[in-house]
Structure 1
Amino acid sequence: MNIAQHIEKARLHSPNKLALIFEHTHYSYQELDQQANQVANGLAQLGIRVGERVALFLPNIPEFMVGYLGIIKLGAIAVSLNVQLQRDEIKFIINDSQATAMITTPELAQRVPTAECPSLKHVLVTDSADASTSLARLIESAPKEYQARAMQPHDPAAIVYSSGTTGFPKGVTLSHHNIISNMQAKNRYCDMRSSDSLLLCVPLFHCFGQNAIFNSALNAGATIVLHRSFNLDLVLRSIQTDQVTMFFGVPTIYLLLLNKTEPEQFHAVRYFFSGAAILPVEIAQRWYAKYKLPIHEGYGLTETSPFAAYNHISNYKLGSVGVPIEQVEIKIVDIETDVEVLPDEVGEIIIRGPNVMLGYWNNPTATAQAIRNGWFHTGDLGKKDQAGYLFIVDRLKDMINVAGIKVYPAEVENVIYQLPEVAEVAVYGVADAITGERVEAQIVFKPKQQLPIQAIIAFCRQHMASFKVPTAIKVVDSIPKNPTGKVLKRLLRNEAGA
């Protein structure tokens, strides 16, 4: 097996079918596959062998896609780097993965400390005038044919580094079988069709963009509409001109769309999906009331390739992330004892199935801590209802302990989101000498709308226990997030405690 057999299959059956649209440039399946083949041949000419790591330090541009596919075809391992990383972070990942080659842009290449990365022999740059480092020059003379190498199911295919919010980033290592089983499940549960056009504006270096959209779309023989990032005006124009039928985003994108768009702007879109973070129930309700289509949710992590649960093919349940996908098991266990808890009781979510990673690259200790008795311990808190539907409560590390009582930030956020003046809210814990921790919040108001802080606190007191009510609320212009839209609560906690 080989992940890249998906594009070879699509090329064989529909060579002229549109595979990719990027800034008014169109690529057929034949053209995209030929460019990937040239990358595979070019890397082979450089001496890159099966199992070697090749880094992709690229934004959302076609070179990421053909680079990834070429690496995978060759049997090498694609290592994705967040484009916001700086010199020391890049150095750590290159040295940890022992990458022998990198594909990047001229701007990003300036951050790469090649002299401090002894394994890194080749840095291939897009749009380079230097023939010795030019990606285009390498592949222009390379043959356009290359059959994807047959790999074993558990051979590593990709390493996606975690955000490193709890220390050094960990290299999540995914096998060919992990990713193939996941993209097949994504096709089935999301009903992806070859006639679909999928908007891809979340980062390709992240597992959501890479596997849930990019690889899954190719496996369905669909068209990918690629954007460098989420730009409201460009995305809305693209939805119209490129006839987007499937929209994939994160909660912060849906919140912006809810406040800035009208239903007629999505006339061709038949399906909406949110991932990478918890979608507040209030946002889901407001969306359905306005657009008359649900935002389907999935649950998963980079360590689960990422797809693990889905809400839902036939029985959508508001506020839930659904039920486990086929061949995947999910349990809720006591945080201390690992014993499964009863329905409606909160515990840690653990997962077992073909989607669970091989482990953390070069980190057996962290792997042993995360995967115990075949179950991956997510660090997420959740509960199941009597019907087996999964509800995400919060991140274990984001839980606030107020005098020994657990407070889940997402619960408080959902209450505050009921206020129509509120555009965004983030709730987090701050160290307190008496109670251990106290609840605080940051709020972004909608344009030209305000509420007194005391009015917000009074509203919270009416709708939740007093120990959950924020003791302080700060009004801000924006809330810090990572590239996939997850709120960086660690930064908020550090700022509040400084």
Structure 2
Amino acid sequence: MNVASIFAHMPGDRPCLLFDGATQSYAQVRARAAGVRARLLAEGVGRGDFVALVLPNGPEFVASYLGVLSLGAVAVCINPMLAEVETAFILADSACRLALAQGDVAARLSLNGLPVLDAGIGPAPGTWASEEVPDDHPAVIVYSSGTSGRPKGVMLSHGNVAFTARSKVRYMRVTGADRLLLFLPLHHCFGQNAILLPGLFAGASVVLQRRFDRAAVLQSLRTDGVTMVFGVPTTFLALEGRITPADCPAVRYWFSAAAPLPLEVEERWQQHMGLPIHQGYGQTECSPFATYNHIHSLRRGKVGTAINGVELRIVDPADGRDLPAGEAGEIVLRGPNVMLGYLNRPEDTAKAIRQGWLHTGDIGRLDAEGYLSVEDRLTDLIIVGGRNVYPAEVENALYAHPAVAEVAVYGVSDPFLGEEVWANVVLKPSVSVDAQELEAVCRRSLAAYKVPTAFVFVDALPRNPTGKILKRELRAAARPVAQDPARRERGSELDSSRLESWVRDWLGRHLNLSPGAIERDRAFAEYGLDSVLGVALARELAAPLGRSVDLTLVWEASTLAGLLARLREAGAASAGACAVPAAT
């Protein structure tokens, strides 16, 4: 079926879009889409042609999207906020025939020689029509966020899109009486397939906003009769503490996706608002719906079970073997939601889809009842001394501290350990906390090798337009700091007694022991100090000593007494090496 054919049967007088205080009926939106269709036909656009939609959220996007699809053409959705070089790459990669845009964006595209139509095309009278296409006919190209390089065009078929829209209607129980708040970007799969189209398939109303603006969202919740709200974890962090049930009297449903929702946030929301935040799992490559945390049997901290028609497995990313319940591995799935492939990238497609199974690159685990929890991206996995650290686990530990507003945990290259664990932290307004306190919070619930070795306090975290944190930017910013020897070596030398106190305190914090419990001649291994922590101790000793320390030193000195003796010897050797040689 052609997704756009749904408009042929909608009651024309039913409200379809509410935007900037004005309501457009299904008949009005349909007429606007027919105007786009007629104009594209006049330009010679037809089945299989690629048309760029470089548009912000608004009725123009909806009409353009449906007008393009109705012809059997393919909508290439591009974020209008991209830099010129980024837009140029996507246009060249997709070989678009023309673009639909507005204002400055349209002018900029025209200067590059691409035919551009103003998306503010008026309505066209007459009966709505759409070309019949098979389910596997391409409908839309959505470019991935490019977190590991150049963005890839994800090709979704009419069958993919229709399957997701129908599944969303069923699982979220959307009806014609609902009003869905949509502020997530329509150029992205979440906004299109998980909110807009389910709303249209159900004959519901979509309360459309340009972007997430907290004040505008709160006003809309109070006055527009919104019944369903969709966001990313950042949305709920931004609303938390500023909203009460009285502010949203009609809301019956909250939904979060695109990134793991911290369990602490989920629990606080339920307690304060009286309603849960529902979750599901998907990605652009699966249209983006694969699991759902069911209304009738909600599991906190989970993203649900596989939806009807979708199969899901957890496999070892190294050899592809199935893993038992409770064990973490890569999430793989198959079903009518899986993309056609990556545009112009057969090798990437073959790597992602193997024997019909989409390898998501996400790490997760299934419990005994088939409920999925998502741990992290496989590419975000941190390997510290050969041990796996999943950032989400560390982030959840930090969210337990009441001063933490947002946090991102990531790996930074280290020559001895492979990687270190770092955390960038945004604090709530008018509160303060130091790194030691956050470290202590982590140590209460995490193994020592998972505890961040650096806490970076920042005002905000870098994000892409869909709200995902750009950890590659955090890693890039941290790398020169981590490689700067002065980072670890600032400080003044300590005398023997103060140095012993420093080491005892460090060991106590990292091993959850009283500093006085550490005996001078007892082996470190008996306290649980392993090679990973040994490297961390050696590295951090540089600060109080005022000089670098051989990172293997703690491995070789197996006791506190031995370590202090080795440090004295190394210090004497260093002082001798710096002495001016006698004249001969």
State the AA in 1 paired with 2:12: P
Q: 1:376 aligns with which of 358, 361, 365?
A: 358
State the AA in 1 paired with 2:118: V
Q: Work out whether residues 110 and 116 of structure 2, in 8 Å CA contact, stay in contact via their aligned partners in 1.
A: no
Deviation at 1:242, TM superposition (A): 1.0
Q: Give the direction of change, closer, same or farther, for the CA distance of 1:270–1:166 in structure 2 (3 Å limit).
A: same
Counterpart of 2:377 in structure 1 is 395
Q: 1:278 aligns with which of 260, 263, 277?
A: 260
Q: Aligned pair 1:309/2:302, yes or no?
A: no
For the residues of structure 2 that align with 1:429 and 1:109, how far apart are their CA atoms?
Answer: 40
For the residues of structure 2 that align with 1:440 and 1:102, how far apart are their CA atoms?
Answer: 42
Q: 2:225 aligns with which of 220, 243, 248?
A: 243
Q: Give the direction of change, closer, same or farther, for the CA distance of 1:286–1:69 in structure 2 (3 Å limit).
A: same
Q: Which moved more, 1:79-88 or 1:221-230?
A: 79-88
Q: 2:174 aligns with which of 192, 204, 207?
A: 192
Deviation at 1:362, TM superposition (A): 1.3
For the residues of structure 1 that align with 2:269 and 2:157, how far apart are their CA atoms?
Answer: 36
Counterpart of 1:298 in structure 2 is 280
* Deviations, residues 357-393 of structure 1 (Å, cap 9, x unaligned): 0001111111111000000000000000011100101
Deviation at 1:83, TM superposition (A): 2.2
For the residues of structure 1 that align with 2:461 and 2:403, how far apart are their CA atoms?
Answer: 16
For the residues of structure 1 that align with 2:237 and 2:186, how far apart are their CA atoms?
Answer: 22
SS of residue paired to 2:23: strand
Q: Work out whether residues 249 and 275 of structure 1, in 8 Å CA contact, stay in contact via their aligned partners in 2.
A: yes
Deviation at 1:109, TM superposition (A): 2.6
Q: Work out whether residues 232 and 257 of structure 2, in 8 Å CA contact, stay in contact via their aligned partners in 1.
A: yes
Counterpart of 1:9 in structure 2 is 9
- Point out the structure with the larger strand share: 1
Q: Work out whether residues 411 and 422 of structure 2, in 8 Å CA contact, stay in contact via their aligned partners in 1.
A: yes
Q: Aligned pair 1:448/2:422, yes or no?
A: no
Counterpart of 1:98 in structure 2 is 95
Deviation at 1:144, TM superposition (A): 4.2
Counterpart of 1:27 in structure 2 is 24
Counterpart of 1:123 in structure 2 is 116
Q: Aligned pair 1:464/2:446, yes or no?
A: yes
For the residues of structure 1 that align with 2:447 and 2:346, how far apart are their CA atoms?
Answer: 43
Q: 1:79 aligns with which of 76, 80, 84?
A: 76
State the AA in 1 paired with 2:2: N
Misfit runs of 4+, over 4 Å = none
Counterpart of 1:158 in structure 2 is 140
State the AA in 2 paired with 1:472: A
Q: Aligned pair 1:321/2:327, yes or no?
A: no
Deviation at 1:240, TM superposition (A): 1.8
Deviation at 1:114, TM superposition (A): 5.0
Deviation at 1:461, TM superposition (A): 1.4
Counterpart of 1:497 in structure 2 is 479
State the AA in 2 paired with 1:497: R
For the residues of structure 2 that align with 1:289 and 1:189, how far apart are their CA atoms?
Answer: 24
* Deviations, residues 222-250 of structure 1 (Å, cap 9, x unaligned): 00000000111111111122100000111
Q: Aligned pair 1:49/2:46, yes or no?
A: yes
Q: Work out whether residues 430 and 438 of structure 1, in 8 Å CA contact, stay in contact via their aligned partners in 2.
A: yes
Counterpart of 1:201 in structure 2 is 183
Q: 1:213 aligns with which of 183, 195, 210?
A: 195
State the AA in 2 paired with 1:91: A
* Deviations, residues 303-334 of structure 1 (Å, cap 9, x unaligned): 10111000013110000000001100010000
For the residues of structure 2 that align with 1:313 and 1:269, how far apart are their CA atoms?
Answer: 15
For the residues of structure 2 that align with 1:266 and 1:223, how far apart are their CA atoms?
Answer: 17
State the AA in 1 paired with 2:238: L
Deviation at 1:484, TM superposition (A): 1.4
State the AA in 1 paired with 2:266: A
Deviation at 1:110, TM superposition (A): 4.2
SS of residue paired to 1:350: strand
- Point out the structure with the larger helix share: 2
Counterpart of 1:437 in structure 2 is 419
Counterpart of 1:481 in structure 2 is 463
State the AA in 2 paired with 1:477: D
Q: What number of residue pairs does the alignment pair up? A: 480
For the residues of structure 2 that align with 1:377 and 1:460, how far apart are their CA atoms?
Answer: 31
Deviation at 1:488, TM superposition (A): 0.7
For the residues of structure 2 that align with 1:299 and 1:22, how far apart are their CA atoms?
Answer: 28
For the residues of structure 2 that align with 1:186 and 1:46, how far apart are their CA atoms?
Answer: 35
Tell me the TM-score normalized by structure 1: 0.95
Counterpart of 2:367 in structure 1 is 385
Calculate percent identity across the aligned residue pairs.
Answer: 48
Tell me the TM-score normalized by structure 2: 0.81
For the residues of structure 1 that align with 2:41 and 2:363, how far apart are their CA atoms?
Answer: 45
Deviation at 1:112, TM superposition (A): 2.7
Counterpart of 2:106 in structure 1 is 109
For the residues of structure 1 that align with 2:107 and 2:320, how far apart are their CA atoms?
Answer: 47
State the AA in 1 paired with 2:15: L
Larger Rg: 2
Q: Work out whether residues 214 and 224 of structure 1, in 8 Å CA contact, stay in contact via their aligned partners in 2.
A: yes
For the residues of structure 2 that align with 1:57 and 1:317, how far apart are their CA atoms?
Answer: 39
Counterpart of 1:131 in structure 2 is none
* Structure 1 unmatched runs, 5+: 127-134
Q: Work out whether residues 38 and 144 of structure 1, in 8 Å CA contact, stay in contact via their aligned partners in 2.
A: no
Counterpart of 1:234 in structure 2 is 216
SS of residue paired to 2:297: coil
State the AA in 2 paired with 1:18: P
State the AA in 1 paired with 2:188: H
Counterpart of 1:130 in structure 2 is none
How do 1:174-185 and structure 2 match up within 5 A?
174-185=156-167
Counterpart of 1:145 in structure 2 is 127
Deviation at 1:417, TM superposition (A): 0.2
* Deviations, residues 23-43 of structure 1 (Å, cap 9, x unaligned): 011100001001101111110
* Structure 2 unmatched runs, 5+: 481-584
For the residues of structure 2 that align with 1:282 and 1:110, how far apart are their CA atoms?
Answer: 46
Q: Work out whether residues 383 and 390 of structure 1, in 8 Å CA contact, stay in contact via their aligned partners in 2.
A: yes
For the residues of structure 1 that align with 2:9 and 2:320, how far apart are their CA atoms?
Answer: 43
For the residues of structure 2 that align with 1:253 and 1:206, how far apart are their CA atoms?
Answer: 16
Q: Work out whether residues 109 and 116 of structure 2, in 8 Å CA contact, stay in contact via their aligned partners in 1.
A: no
Q: Which moved more, 1:369-378 or 1:92-101?
A: 92-101
Q: Work out whether residues 82 and 205 of structure 1, in 8 Å CA contact, stay in contact via their aligned partners in 2.
A: yes
SS of residue paired to 1:184: helix
* Deviations, residues 373-416 of structure 1 (Å, cap 9, x unaligned): 00000000000001110010100000100000000000000000
Q: Work out whether residues 348 and 379 of structure 1, in 8 Å CA contact, stay in contact via their aligned partners in 2.
A: yes
Q: Give the direction of change, closer, same or farther, for the CA distance of 1:210–1:217 in structure 2 (3 Å limit).
A: same
Counterpart of 1:132 in structure 2 is none
Deviation at 1:113, TM superposition (A): 6.9
Counterpart of 1:353 in structure 2 is 335
For the residues of structure 2 that align with 1:343 and 1:183, how far apart are their CA atoms?
Answer: 30
Q: Work out whether residues 86 and 111 of structure 1, in 8 Å CA contact, stay in contact via their aligned partners in 2.
A: no
Q: Give the direction of change, closer, same or farther, for the CA distance of 1:167–1:113 in structure 2 (3 Å limit).
A: farther
**Greater RCO, CA 8 A, separation 6+:** 1
